[in-house]
């Protein structure tokens, strides 16, 4: 960020090498995002959607309510209030969901979409800004929420922060507690294990490109619609299909999730650097007021929904389950995991396991839908997107009632009193 032309780079003449590195970082950010999504399911044990819903039904419904509300509230504000005072594109109402649920890094995946919609680079920069605020808000509000939950006695496993070991505070592992990065599953003289996993990532990305290319050939409106689509959700789905096929033909054991996570982590680190370094602060400030209004609406919805819905539908440990979902909805998975580790450092509650099942369902379903919402808003209007979001939330509520998740007032009272 220091060498960005929007900060010190506009004042100081940095060496050409540094400028070239910065410029290349910007160019590879989209590639890195597709790379990270391609590996989301590589090496994982992928449960069926039926099992995911059976094990984590309440968390799936809470996650859907949180995410669709981040579309509903900003869309309503854009449609009926902000558009009266500002000249905003229809896709403006989708920025909070893109930045919050997707994260700042996911925003760069919409580059081709916003270019086709004629809203580039403004759309990307505002989505990144929303993602940055989501991460900060998820952390700061999340910690305040934890303090409130602890004072009310809703958290059962949280340790005293003063009891945290020094190595945890510094982010380092003790030598005797070092963890293995992964497992070598093939003979390195035959093929380098990292190279094998890298090829699987590449196959998933290639499969995603094939998906998009085929969809673009559809006739009429559908072909035009899919021509705006970003690649990353299709790379994710392609990676899931690839892992399912490997498991089906009994080659899944050769893929190590630890090595896949290290590759994903490497791609994500540099993607985050490139995204944050490319923030165009002057451009963001031009739309700071309407952006701030819709961001506040997304934060209020997420916080209110998490606190109101979670104790009414979670079978147990509602506070821990709620925190990981709330954090994920505000700033993607790392924020949710951070909040969960604060209240359940040893993962004694079922929150982590059920969240894993929930994300297996939530990620491919919601990210695939979210990829098309800016396109839909531009083609048919933000009012239609708001209506779809409202219907989705109502359906989630009705499903919670139908499946027996929604608890009676008497049982809710017992839950809140920890009986």
Q: Model confidence over 289-329: pLDDT tens digits?
A: 999 999 999 999 999 999 999 999 998 889 999 999 999 89
296 burial type by CB count under 10 A (0-12 exposed, 13-18 middle, 19+ buried): middle
Quick one: residue 35, left, alpha or beta (phi over 0 = left, psi -120 to 50 = alpha)?
A: alpha
Tokens 């004694």: give the residue. Answer: 348
Report, as an integer, the average pLDDT of 234-252: 92
Structure tokens at 345: 């450092």
Q: What is the pTM of this model?
A: 0.82
pLDDT band at 16 (very low <50, low <70, confident <90, very high): confident
Determine the pLDDT at residue 161.
56
Q: Are 98 and 106 in contact (CB under 8 A)?
A: yes
Residues composing the chain: 419
CA 78 to CA 87: how far, in whole Å? Answer: 10
E-assigned strand segments in 281-406: none
- Tokens 């009986």, located at residue: 419
pLDDT of residue 157: 66
**62 vs 43: CA distance, rounded Å:** 27
Confidence of residue 239 (pLDDT cuts 50, 70, 90): very high
Q: Please give the pLDDT value at position 164.
A: 57
Copy the structure tokens of residue 243. 């892992």
- Beta carbons of 287 and 296 less than 8 angstroms apart: no
Using CA atoms, how far apart are residues 107 and 133, in angstroms rounded to an integer?
13
pLDDT of the residue at 169: 65
What pLDDT is stored for residue 411 in this prediction? 67
- Average pLDDT over the chain, rounded to whole? 86
Packing angle of the helix pair 318-331, 288-313 (nearest 10 deg):
160
Nearest to 102 by CA among 366, 303, 295: 366
What are the structural domain ranges in the chain? 8-171+180-416
Cis amide prior to 121 (ω within 30 degrees): yes
pLDDT confidence of residue 365:
84
At 248-272, the pLDDT tens digits run 999 999 999 999 999 998 988 888 8
Read off the DSSP letter of residue 408: P
Residue among 285, 291, 273, 288 at smallest CA distance from 6: 285
Q: 198 pLDDT band (50/70/90 cuts)?
A: very high
Phi-psi region of 89 (alpha: psi -120 to 50; beta: other; left: phi over 0): beta
Alpha carbon separation from 23 to 18, 29, 169 (Å, rounded): 9, 10, 35
């Amino acid at each position: 960020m220091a060498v960005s032309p929007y900060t010190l780079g506009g004042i100081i003449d940095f060496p050409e090498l540094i400028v070239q590195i910065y410029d290349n970082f910007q160019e590879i950010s989209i590639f890195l995002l597709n790379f990270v999504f391609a590996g989301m399911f590589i090496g994982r044990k992928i449960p069926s959607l039926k099992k995911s819903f059976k094990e984590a039904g309440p968390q799936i419904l809470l996650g859907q309510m949180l995410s669709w509300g981040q579309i509903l509230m900003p869309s309503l504000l854009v449609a009926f209030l902000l558009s009266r005072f500002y000249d905003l594109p229809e896709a403006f109402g989708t920025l909070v969901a893109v930045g919050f649920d997707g994260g700042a890094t996911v925003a760069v995946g919409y580059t081709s979409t916003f270019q086709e919609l004629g809203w580039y680079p403004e759309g990307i920069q505002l989505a990144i800004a929303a993602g940055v605020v989501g991460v900060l808000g998820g952390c700061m509000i999340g910690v305040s929420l934890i303090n409130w939950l602890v004072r009310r006695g809703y958290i059962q496993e949280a340790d005293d922060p003063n009891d945290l070991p020094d190595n945890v505070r510094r982010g380092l592992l003790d030598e005797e507690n070092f963890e293995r990065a992964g497992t070598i599953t093939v003979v390195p003289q035959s093929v380098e294990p990292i190279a094998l996993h890298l090829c699987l990532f590449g196959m998933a990305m290639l499969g995603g490109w094939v998906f998009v290319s085929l969809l673009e050939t559809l006739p009429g409106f559908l072909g035009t619609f899919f021509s705006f689509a970003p690649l990353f959700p299709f790379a994710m789905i392609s990676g899931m299909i690839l892992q399912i096929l490997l498991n089906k033909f009994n080659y899944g054991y050769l893929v190590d999730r630890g090595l896949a996570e290290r590759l994903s982590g490497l791609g994500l680190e540099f993607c985050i650097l490139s995204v944050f370094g490319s923030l165009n602060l002057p451009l963001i400030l031009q739309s700071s007021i309407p952006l701030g209004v819709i961001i506040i609406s997304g934060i209020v919805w997420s916080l209110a929904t998490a606190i109101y819905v979670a104790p009414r539908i979670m079978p147990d440990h509602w506070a821990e389950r709620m925190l990981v979902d709330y954090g994920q909805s505000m700033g993607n998975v790392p924020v949710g995991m951070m909040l969960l580790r604060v209240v359940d450092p040893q993962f004694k509650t079922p929150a982590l396991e059920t969240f894993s099942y929930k994300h297996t369902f939530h990620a491919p379903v919601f990210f695939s839908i979210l990829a098309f919402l800016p396109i839909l808003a531009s083609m048919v209007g933000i009012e239609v997107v708001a209506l779809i979001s409202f219907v989705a939330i109502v359906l989630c509520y009705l499903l919670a009632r139908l499946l027996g998740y929604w608890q009676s007032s008497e049982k809710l009272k017992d839950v809140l009193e920890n009986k």
